[in-house]
Structure 1
Amino acid sequence: MVFLTVQEDEDYIFAAQALGALGYVLKSRMRTDLLSAIDEALAGRAFISSISSQSALQWMRKAAD
């Protein structure tokens, strides 16, 4: 599952992940990130749009578990 959203807040990011999302794409980055996010999700890998590096790191660690 890939979320497409305007929300950059960490609470939304981690809520999406808790619901099973492998991808989290910001609408402002849709043109550059959406296809990559879909490809990664289809391959079972996590993808997150450019947000704070700490949030991205936590997302990737949880996805690897």
Structure 2
Amino acid sequence: GGWDMLYTGPRSRRAPMPFPEAVERLLNKKICMSCSARNPPKAVQCRKCGYKGLRVKSRERSGKTQ
């Protein structure tokens, strides 16, 4: 992909976000907690496995910050 080209420098932790429509398309999803499939934002259960435990896709990556 081209995401690696968007980093601003060697110490940058996050790529700058492109235009708002792209952000919406990339991040407005639900993730299945069982099989990790991407589902539409209005989904109630997973399209692949039928599991009802869905979470909203994270906006920022969680983890240790240095």
TM over 0.5: no
> What TM-score, normalized by structure 2, do the two folds share?
0.26
Normalised by the length of structure 1, the TM-score is: 0.26
Report 1 or 2 for greater relative contact order, CA contacts < 8 Å, sequence distance ≥ 6.
Answer: 1
